[in-house]
């Protein structure tokens, strides 16, 4: 679910309010038409602001496609330039609609500040919303496209709080997003943050309950969280089995764990990738970084398993990666 | 309070001396005791002692070298000191294979991995507890009532130190529930907390972000810590860290200010966050509310300070503490709050 999807739903919903109510089929057709050509359905500044933002995010992603060809310095310069462009677009968006929460969120993330400062700023943004109840209910359901920016903000805040080592806050925030979006299947992936925070806090019950809610939807985060939790609880043979699961059920999981790969900022959500694939493993390991660093001998323990090393190495060879 | 190997050596010998006198007349005992202090200082070998006492004496000597001289030794002295201490500990174990302090310190000295240390300590924990309890029961049976509490405490101390090191290792390794269990076990065995394990427990509760647990610990402070109040560097840093983790930044700032009031002129130590090696016998003895005590607390507090993603390497809380200490204490030199934390003499 992206900001563009929200925009389309909002335009369709507004048009339906004006001309409808439309039948289900007609509504689906309307949505399709909006997707084809959103510009012609946008007639208010709030939607204009979103359209501008969605365009800027597409441009950012498009420009990132050839980053692999750049060396580190060139990448850093190019990345900074691109984030600056994105921030300028957010400003334009906000000049159309100063209440455009998505633009504020993207602008904050794109400022590429330290997690601690970012968490503080996002928390303030969220607090200001509570003071203005017309901005959608705090626990509003995902079905309402007008309430989504706020849930997106809380999900980003939860992730940032993991980086800022504020795990209880992260757990509470992620849990509130999961509760609000559960009927839609947690499209923001807040369960991933929730599971990582539970693992760090050695909250076995919390992790178990979250796993049970999403029992058929395992992910790199769920596997990695289990390994970390069991390791922290000192149940080493269970931890070893869980590590084995992470390795065999997440493509390239072993490689991602032992050779962490750079992950760009989420603007403002994680990119959509296949469940339990290599890209997901890379993201899960990146997000778990502060938790892994807090168990200083964890990676050494992982490396002590020959099968894990062999698996990582053969993945590297098959995919032409450095080892 | 803290453990003091030299003092404990003296107490052990005085107990042994008392045991040797219990047969004689009270007058004789009083006269004999008058000369005990002099003999202990000048002619220790002439005093009655068992191999266990001799072994503990070697532990006390090794502790001086490892915990009090090594941190200040130049690079060229590190290996000679370690090797002398290693020899003393080996001799202690050969004199008394159940000298738990010597066994523990010997293993820790050459085991840099905290996981491995924790594994060794956990594996032998039950045996050590039972041995110490048996020793206590036997000794208490032999002594008159007035000497029983001291004898009981002396017998149990190796076990307390064992548990204290288990708690510290578990905390460093990120096994926070295990750290909590070891600390609670120790407090149950020694409700007066000679080992100051409540400090380790406070950090552990912050790692688990257990606000209720930390509140409860504060309530237990009067019975655990007396005559000290709940204003030591550990509990204040723990409370600051928890407020910071809950994003209650005004509270965190206020608590850091009270830490600076309890440890006046220590802003620079707070900003620099030097890491020093842990004591091998037990947490090193330093004067209460001294800068040294704050340094020890901060060094153990690395688990709180250096957590999270932060670019200078100080950690999220560490960077905030350094910056805020510099704001609160004008004596902190410019630049002390930035850059990587310096490392003090390290044992391994």
In the predicted model, what is the mean pLDDT of residues B289-312? Answer: 96
The ipTM is: 0.92
Tens of pLDDT, residues A212-242: 999 889 999 999 999 999 999 999 999 999 9
Using N-to-C axis directions, what is the helix angle for A278-293 and A190-200, rounded to 10°?
30
Q: What is the pLDDT of residue B347?
A: 38
Instruction: Name the token pair of B146.
Output: 């007035």
What's chain A's average pLDDT? 91
| Contact assignment for B308 to A163 by CB distance below 8 Å | yes
Tell me the two tokens of residue B119: 């594994």
Predicted confidence (pLDDT) per residue in B139-169, tens digit: 888 888 888 999 999 999 999 999 999 999 9
What is the per-residue burial (b if ≥16 Cβ within 10 Å, else e) of B4-42? bbeebbbbbbbbbbbbebeeeeeeebeeeeeebeeebee
Would you call A202 an interface residue with chain B, using a CB distance cutoff of 8 Å?
Answer: yes
Which of A169, A234, A301 should we substitute to test contact with B (largest number of B Cβ atoms within 10 Å)? A234
Q: Which two tokens stand for residue A88?
A: 């300028």
Which of B244, B271, B250 lies closest to B260 in space, CA to CA?
B271
Question: How many CB atoms sit inside 10 A of residue B241's CB?
Answer: 29
- Asked if B115's CB is within 8 angstroms of A290's CB, the reply is no
Which among B115, B174, B310 has CB closest to A116? Answer: B310
Mean pLDDT of B293-315: 96
Contact A234 B308 (CB under 8 A): no
Contacts of B115 in chain A (CB under 8 A): 297, 301
User: Which residues of chain A make contact with B208, given a CB cutoff of 8 A?
Assistant: 201-202
Predicted pLDDT of residue A134: 52
Query: Is residue A276 within 8 Å of A251, Cβ to Cβ?
Result: yes
- Provide the angle, in degrees to the nearest 10, between the axes of the packed helices B316-328 and A115-130: 80
Cα distance between residue B121 and residue B165, in whole Å: 8
CA distance B65 to B148: 31
CB contacts of A117 in chain B (<8 Å) are none
pLDDT tens digit sequence for A86-136: 999 999 999 999 999 999 999 999 998 899 999 999 999 998 887 655 544
Which pLDDT value is given to residue A143? 80
Q: pTM, whole model, 2 decimals? A: 0.94
CB contact under 8 A, A201 and B172: no
> Is A265 an interface residue toward B (CB < 8 Å)?
no
Interface residue A255 vs chain B (CB under 8 A) = no
Confidence of residue B342 (pLDDT cuts 50, 70, 90): low
Position with higher pLDDT, B144 vs B91: B91
Residue B34 binned pLDDT confidence (cut-offs 50, 70, 90): confident
Q: At what angle do helices A24-36 and A3-19 cross, to 10 degrees?
A: 130
Dist. CA A169–CA B44, nearest whole Å? 59
For B306, nearest residue in chain A (alpha carbons):
A294
Judged by CB atoms closer than 8 Å, whether chains meet at A163 and B309 is answered as yes
* CB neighbour burial string for B269-299, b if at least 16 within 10 angstroms, e if fewer: bbbbbebbbbbbbbbbbeeebebebbbbbbb
Interface of A with B in 42-81 (CB under 8 A): none
pLDDT, position B339? 59
A260 touches chain B (CB under 8 A): no
CB pairs under 8 A between A and B: 75
> A293 to chain B: nearest residue by CA?
B307
Residues recorded for chain A: 323
Distances (CA, A) of B37 to A111, B27, B314: 70, 17, 49
């Amino acid at each position: 679910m992206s900001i563009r999807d929200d925009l389309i739903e909002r335009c369709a919903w507004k048009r339906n309010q004006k001309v409808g109510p439309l039948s289900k089929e007609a509504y689906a057709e309307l949505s399709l038409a909006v997707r084809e050509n959103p510009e012609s359905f946008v007639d208010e500044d709030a939607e204009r602001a979103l359209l501008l933002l969605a365009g800027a995010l597409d441009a950012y992603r498009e420009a990132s496609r050839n980053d692999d060809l750049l060396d580190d310095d060139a990448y850093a310069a190019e990345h900074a330039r691109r984030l600056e462009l994105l921030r300028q677009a957010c400003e334009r968006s906000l000049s159309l609609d100063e209440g455009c929460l998505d633009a504020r969120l993207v602008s904050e993330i794109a400022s590429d500040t330290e997690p601690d400062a970012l968490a503080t700023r996002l928390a303030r943004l969220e607090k200001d919303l509570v003071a203005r109840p017309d901005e959608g209910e705090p626990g509003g359901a995902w079905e309402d496209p007008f309430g989504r920016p706020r849930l997106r903000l809380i999900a980003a805040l939860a992730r940032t709080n993991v980086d800022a080592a504020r795990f209880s806050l992260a757990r509470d925030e992620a849990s509130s997003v999961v509760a609000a979006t559960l009927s839609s299947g947690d499209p923001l992936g807040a369960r991933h943050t929730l599971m990582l925070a539970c693992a760090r806090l050695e909250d076995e019950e919390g992790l178990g309950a979250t796993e049970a809610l999403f029992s058929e939807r395992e992910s790199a985060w769920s596997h990695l969280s289990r390994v970390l939790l069991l390791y922290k609880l000192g149940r080493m043979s269970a931890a070893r089995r869980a590590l084995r699961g992470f390795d065999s059920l997440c493509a390239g999981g072993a490689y991602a764990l032992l050779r962490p790969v750079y992950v760009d900022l989420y603007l403002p959500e994680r990119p959509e990738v296949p469940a339990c694939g290599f890209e997901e493993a890379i993201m899960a390991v990146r997000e778990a970084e502060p938790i892994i660093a807090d168990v200083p001998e964890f990676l050494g323990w992982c490396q002590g398993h020959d099968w894990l090393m062999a698996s990582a190495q053969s993945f590297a060879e098959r995919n032409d990666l450095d080892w | 309070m803290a453990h003091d190997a030299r003092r404990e050596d003296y107490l052990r010998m005085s107990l042994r001396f008392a045991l040797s006198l219990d047969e004689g007349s009270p007058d004789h005992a009083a006269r004999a005791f008058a000369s005990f202090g002099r003999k202990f200082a000048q002619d220790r070998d002439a005093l009655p002692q068992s191999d266990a006492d001799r072994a503990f004496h070697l532990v006390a000597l090794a502790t001086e070298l490892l915990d009090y001289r090594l941190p200040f030794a130049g690079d060229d002295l590190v290996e000679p000191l370690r090797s002398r201490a290693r020899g003393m500990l080996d001799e202690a174990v050969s004199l008394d294979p159940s000298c738990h302090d010597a066994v523990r310190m010997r293993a820790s000295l050459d085991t840099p991995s905290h996981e491995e240390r924790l594994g060794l300590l956990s594996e032998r924990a039950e045996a050590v507890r039972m041995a110490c309890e048996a020793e206590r029961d036997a000794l208490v049976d032999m002594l008159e009532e007035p000497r029983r509490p001291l004898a009981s405490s002396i017998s149990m101390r190796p076990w307390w130190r064992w548990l204290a090191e288990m708690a510290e290792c578990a905390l460093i390794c990120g096994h926070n529930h295990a750290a909590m269990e070891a600390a609670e076990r120790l407090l149950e065995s020694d409700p007066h907390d000679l080992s100051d394990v409540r400090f380790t427990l406070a950090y552990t509760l912050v790692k688990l972000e257990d606000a209720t647990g930390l509140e409860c610990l504060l309530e237990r402070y009067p019975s655990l810590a007396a005559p000290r109040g709940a204003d030591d560097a550990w509990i204040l840093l723990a409370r600051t860290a928890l407020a910071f983790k809950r994003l209650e930044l005004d509270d965190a700032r206020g608590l850091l200010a009270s830490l600076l009031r309890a440890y006046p002129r220590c802003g620079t130590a707070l900003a620099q966050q030097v890491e020093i090696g842990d004591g091998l016998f037990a947490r090193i003895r330093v004067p209460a509310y001294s800068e040294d005590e704050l340094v020890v607390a901060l060094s153990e507090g690395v688990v709180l300070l250096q957590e999270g993603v932060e670019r200078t390497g100080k950690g999220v809380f560490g960077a905030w503490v350094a910056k805020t200490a510099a704001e609160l204490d004008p004596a902190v030199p410019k630049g002390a709050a930035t850059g990587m934390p310096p490392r003090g003499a390290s044992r391994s």
